[in-house]
Amino acid sequence: MFNHREEHVDKDLLLIQANLDDMNPEWVSYIMDKLFECGANDVYVIPIIMKKGRPGIMLNVLIDAAKQDSVEEIIFSETTTLGIRYLHASCHRLAREFKQVSTQWGPMTVKVGYHQGKLVQYAPEFKECEQVAKQFGVPLKLVYDEVRKQFMLEMKNASS
């Protein structure tokens, strides 16, 4: 069940940015999906104000430098931009593992993050919680709370 990875710094990243002021925003989720499928570490958009007060959006894609060509290929093919810019970036990622906790809806997964060996993050898995909420007809927020509570109790028991 443990999907362990070491905490590490990845120094060879690029943050690719494209300002879009003449593109149908309806396409954004499709483009974001394509970029994630291509292996992007992260994709997000920022509302901006461009030349002549145009309410544009800035597409941001964080990638391993090795993927620059294929990511740019997608951006030039799927968006309307005539140019992209990129900045060098590094990424510090926590060690992560997936733990399971017992809940009234069965075992559920918590994504855990460690900083210098210390547990600092624990987050219920969205997809699982969403599915439980739908299947059992309970509010999503209660599912989250229950998973978090159970994780805290199990951690406490494990440490005592």
| Binds a second copy by CB under 8 A, chosen from 2, 6, 26, 157 | 26
- Alpha-carbon distance of 17 to 68, in angstroms, equals 12
| Binds a second copy by CB under 8 A, chosen from 3, 39, 46, 104 | 46
| Binds a second copy by CB under 8 A, chosen from 1, 4, 6, 83 | 83
- Alpha-carbon distance of 15 to 58, in angstroms, equals 12
Binding mask 84-123 for a second copy (x = CB under 8 A): xxxxxxxxxxx-x--------------x-x-x----xx-x
* Contact predicate 57/20, CB 8 Å: yes
| Binds a second copy by CB under 8 A, chosen from 6, 82, 157, 160 | 82
CA 131 vs CA 3, 108, 139, 142: distances in Å: 22, 11, 11, 13
- Alpha-carbon distance of 68 to 34, in angstroms, equals 14
Q: Which is nearer to a second copy, 74 or 100 (CB)?
A: 74
| Binds a second copy by CB under 8 A, chosen from 54, 65, 66, 136 | 54
How many Cα atoms within 13 Å fall on the side-chain side of residue 128?
18
Give the nearest distance from C-beta 81 to a second copy in angstroms: 7
